[in-house]
Amino acid sequence: MKINQLDMQLLNTISNLNGVPDGAVNIRLDGKAVLRNSTPNIKISSKENGSGLVVEVRPGTRNETVHVPVLLTSGGFVDKVYNTFIVGEDSDVTIIAGCGIHNDSHSNSRHDGIHEIVVKKGARLKYIEKHYGEGSGDGKRILNPTTTVTVEKGAFAEMEMVQIKGVDDTYRSTVATIHEKGSLKIVERLMTHGCQSAESDISVCIEGKDGSGQVLSRSVAKDESYQVFKAALTGKTECIGHVECDSIIMDNARIKAIPQLVAEDSGAILTHEAAIGKIAGEQLIKLMSLGLTEKEAVETILAGFLR
């Protein structure tokens, strides 16, 4: 495995890895797989056209984790990958994805990760995806994740989508379909600063009776950055759904929140909440009375808000 210290630092930031993980893993560096390992219960293979991965979890698999991080460290590198994840019936697994970009060049670096996730009948999935950018160059660090999710009968999926910092432009598209007695929880957390822009477009359709869907977004916008959060929740039958957007705005940033509810059945119970505001003065005063500087108090509040 050709991984240097910079690569390991990026891996640690997006996946909390300090070395080669046990179990199923695929590490992609500048468009090429530098490490791949399957297990008896989880098979990782290349798509026939070489455009991405197929990750297959055997039915009944329990307590296993799949790591599929992506790293971009060559200046101006543009990467597009199509991955398919199939979580077998009655299994219970964690998938840790995400992308880290280090760009010291004057050209833009960009990763488009296009993921299809199918959670089969009765299965449980925890999906974690973290995005991070760094580097001294003027070139942008661009990340555009596109995810489609199907939650089959009686299955459950929790998706944690995090943008840590350093991503100049991002368009995040998530489309989900939930079937009978299936459940999906999407938690999004992101921070923008400088002149960065971030747009999240989430669409959840609850097609099956007694299905449930939840979308929770927390974001912080600093400096001159701009954020758009769109969340459309459709209930086609008896179901429960909730959308919640909570944002902190600072400096000269701008935030737009657009929640949308569509009930197509009298048994659909759909709710939404949206709040945008600045840090409360009493929070700062309380922390500063404990000995923190104003800057330290702000950082503490933001860290707790995005946790």
pLDDT in tens, 70-122: 999 998 899 999 999 999 999 999 999 999 999 999 999 999 999 999 999 99
Q: What's 58's DSSP letter?
A: P
Residue 302 placed within a domain: no
Query: What is the rounded CA–CA span in Å between residue 56 and residue 34?
Result: 20
270: β partners: 241
Contact 126/117 with Cβ under 8 angstroms?
no
Residue range of the domain that includes 230: 5-280
Residue 286 placed within a domain: no
| Whole-Å CA distances, 221 to 11, 71, 306 | 25, 25, 12
Contact 117/85 with Cβ under 8 angstroms?
yes
pLDDT over threshold 80, residue 3? no
Closest CA to 156 of 204, 121, 202: 121
Tens-place pLDDT, residues 232-253: 999 999 999 999 999 999 999 9
Mean pLDDT of the chain: 94
pLDDT score of 16: 86
280: β partners: none
* Confidence band for 1, pLDDT divided at 50, 70 and 90: low
Query: How many residues in the chain?
Result: 307
Q: What is the mean pLDDT of residues 170-175?
A: 97
pLDDT score of 156: 98
Contact 114/144 with Cβ under 8 angstroms?
no
Residue 218 placed within a domain: yes
Question: Is residue 304 classed as helix, strand or coil in its secondary structure?
Answer: helix
First to last CA, the chain: 33
Query: What is the rounded CA–CA span in Å between residue 21 and residue 19?
Result: 6
pLDDT score of 280: 79
pLDDT over threshold 80, residue 131? yes
Q: What is the mean pLDDT of residues 151-175?
A: 96
Residue 230 placed within a domain: yes
**Distance from chain centroid for Cα 14:** 11
Q: What is the mean pLDDT of residues 187-198?
A: 96
Q: By CB neighbour count within 10 A (0-12 exposed, 13-18 middle, 19+ buried), where does 194 fall?
A: exposed
Tens-place pLDDT, residues 290-307: 888 888 888 888 888 888
Residue 288 phi/psi, 5° resolution? -70, -30
Residue 290 placed within a domain: no
| 38 Cβ neighbours under 8 A, 6+ residues apart | 24, 44, 45
Better-scored residue on pLDDT, 160 or 21: 160
pLDDT over threshold 70, residue 256? yes
Q: Of all residues in the chain, what percent carry a pLDDT higher than 70?
A: 99
Pairing of strands 70-72, 78-87: unpaired
Which value, to the nearest 10 degrees, does the dihedral of the CA atoms of residues 20, 147, 85, 218 take? 50
Q: Say which residue the tokens 């798509």 belong to.
A: 47
Domain count, the chain: 1
Q: Token pair of 6, please?
A: 């910079």
pLDDT score of 279: 87
Per the confidence metrics, is the pTM higher than 0.85? Answer: yes
Pairing of strands 42-46, 70-72: unpaired
Query: What is the rounded CA–CA span in Å between residue 304 and residue 125?
Result: 25
Residue 242 placed within a domain: yes
pLDDT score of 171: 97
Residue 287 placed within a domain: no
Q: What's 282's DSSP letter?
A: H
Residue 63 placed within a domain: yes
Query: What is the rounded CA–CA span in Å between residue 95 and residue 25?
Result: 10
Beta-strand ranges (E) seen in 38-168 are 42-46, 53-57, 62-67, 70-72, 78-87, 92-96, 99-102, 109-119, 124-134, 141-143, 146-151, 156-163
Query: What is the rounded CA–CA span in Å between residue 53 and residue 66?
Result: 12
* Confidence band for 124, pLDDT divided at 50, 70 and 90: very high
pLDDT score of 163: 93
Closest CA to 27 of 49, 50, 44, 51: 44
pLDDT over threshold 60, residue 231? yes
Q: What is the mean pLDDT of residues 212-220?
A: 96
